[in-house]
Structure 1
């Protein structure tokens, strides 16, 4: 089966990393088209052997991209068009219909509580989203939390299938040699305690809280991995708090293993996570985690992730949580832990199989698409 994945951009982010990993495990013949920012993830996907096309939009409202995308879809004779992220969902569903492809699947990665991809969910945004949704046969929700939000928005429940994001735990296995080499490359002292975070540098991620919390931890470094419009503001905040020389902006990365190996504790102050893929990757690397929101952990019993702590979104709470872990690190009383049980629950292989199974159902002739329930219950 030929499948075209349409995504808004391939610079760096949870959805982009998830697509890269999914492509490695799907049995279908896949290609990718990006509408903007063909960054390190595009290179990683190409290096792995999957073609990546670029139908680059000149602006967020570049309607001329629709016929260009439709021509690519028509020429590729794809059986399924699978869209990822809000703008790709709008343009991809319309272009697929113009190209005569009615088997459209959308994955909802980033629908938060009142925000989508960091932007407010205004009436106009919601209307456009639901208009594109009518052109699809199925919508994949990456968590039960997202499924509930989609239903509340008006997406028919019969069209929604919960297929969580997945990870390949082996990709994030801790290696002390990698840790030493990465710290040397980044200029971090080998014995410095390091707080780390991975994600787009946007306001909704609340990395400013980590800057403030780290300021109260005199020996700690803060390693921020990602790029985005808030970088300048975060640099200024670090300078004002007197820790400009201890905050390192590493930029986006196609693979997070090296930077995770360099960290001692992982922090996620974002209150609007629809999944929290970076948190699971950190747990796979054996890191303790302090987080505000992560649906997979919130929907699981505490024993599934004993090294993860959910804390309030304020500087004092993060100061206390990070100080407790880093004190153990400094005394050498903490070592990397095995990946907790929650990591195995989100193994990418069966999740990719579920996505491929959905493709089979949407392309089956004269059969209504009735997505099954959450994959978690099927595997339990």
Structure 2
């Protein structure tokens, strides 16, 4: 198949990461992929060496005529089998171009907050395929009245090669951060915001670190509560065992350095890409039983599902995972689980199957 992806969002978001991974997955599967992208933005830079033909363009909003022109020209010249869009500001331009050129359009929705009333009603009905990125998100759209047959589910693809375990990488990162080589490292990768359950995790870690002297925590990310989190860590008894690394453009090497991942959100998540990537690197996941998180792991096989906000449950689960007899079988199972359900190969095949299903 021939695809034209359109994603002119310059920011680093989950939708941008999905856009990159899905475009690369389709290239790996042997399809011809081109993309309309923000010049020198995150998406453009990641796709530059992926065999994707890039067309620079900007959509400041749905009324940006320059974006329409660039996208229309690329679609007219390429004559793709499908247009693919990931970002709300491009839904209506793509639907219009789809009609003008008689090219079907597939649109992904990565957020569960409602679109405007008109868009919420029309977009799923006018796109030839409308995708949610989890069954949880799909149900939210159905609850708002979208007919079930109009909302398909396609999970985020994960490149297994990028996330493979690397013992040398782990050793180098631990050395760089001043951690002992036998450290048990729990990782938090994400936005530093109270809705992500970071303070539940911190309180649980205080209890767990008091019982397990090898336990360290690696915090990757930034957000409005970064300063408060840092202050609370410094006020605690185990500040030297917390490592706040801030924002890191490429987190993939750091998955190799963690023994487990914490995903402690107290607000519903649409999906949870970090959970899947961590498991691809052989790191079991402690995840909140909320939103789309349960779909990202196999409970008691590749990780544990826990009650959001329950400090005691999180402390006990962390300590349980410190036991190698519990953690190591989950580590082995985790990578196989991701390969079977979320690898680029599996998701690319499923995408084509859904697009071909009349």
TM-score when normalising by structure 1: 0.75
CA distance in 1, matches of 2:57, 2:145: 30
CA distance in 1, matches of 2:162, 2:168: 15
CA distance in 1, matches of 2:85, 2:99: 15
Q: Residue 190 of structure 2 aligns with which residue?
A: 199
Query: Secondary structure in 1 aligned to 2:3?
Result: strand
1:313 aligns with 2:308: yes
Runs (4+) of structure 1 exceeding 6 A deviation are: none
How far does the alpha carbon of each residue in 1:313-366 deviate from its partner, in whole angstroms, 9 at most, with x for none? 12332222112323x25xx985473134532233321321232344456xxxxx
Q: Residue 76 of structure 1 aligns with which residue?
A: 74
Q: Residue 19 of structure 2 aligns with which residue?
A: 19
CA distance in 2, matches of 1:235, 1:52: 41
Q: 1:12 to 1:152 in 2, by over 3 A?
A: same
TM-score when normalising by structure 2: 0.79
CA distance in 1, matches of 2:37, 2:221: 19
Compare 43-52 and 95-104 and name the one that shifted more.
Answer: 95-104
Question: What is the number of equivalent residue pairs in this alignment?
Answer: 340
CA distance in 1, matches of 2:119, 2:258: 41
CA distance in 2, matches of 1:308, 1:194: 15
Q: 1:254 to 1:7 in 2, by over 3 A?
A: farther
CA contact (8 A) 1:208 1:234 kept: yes
Unmatched 5+ stretches in structure 1? 362-369, 371-380
CA distance in 1, matches of 2:353, 2:12: 27
Q: Residue 366 of structure 1 aligns with which residue?
A: none
CA distance in 2, matches of 1:137, 1:287: 38
Q: 1:145 to 1:158 in 2, by over 3 A?
A: same
Q: Residue 51 of structure 2 aligns with which residue?
A: 49
Unmatched 5+ stretches in structure 2? none
CA distance in 2, matches of 1:201, 1:273: 14
CA distance in 2, matches of 1:32, 1:232: 38
Matches within 5 A, 1:113-132: 116=113, 121=114, 125-132=116-123
CA distance in 1, matches of 2:218, 2:168: 19
- Using the TM superposition, give the Cα deviation of residue 202 of structure 1 relative to its aligned residue in structure 2, in angstroms: 4.3
CA distance in 2, matches of 1:152, 1:185: 49
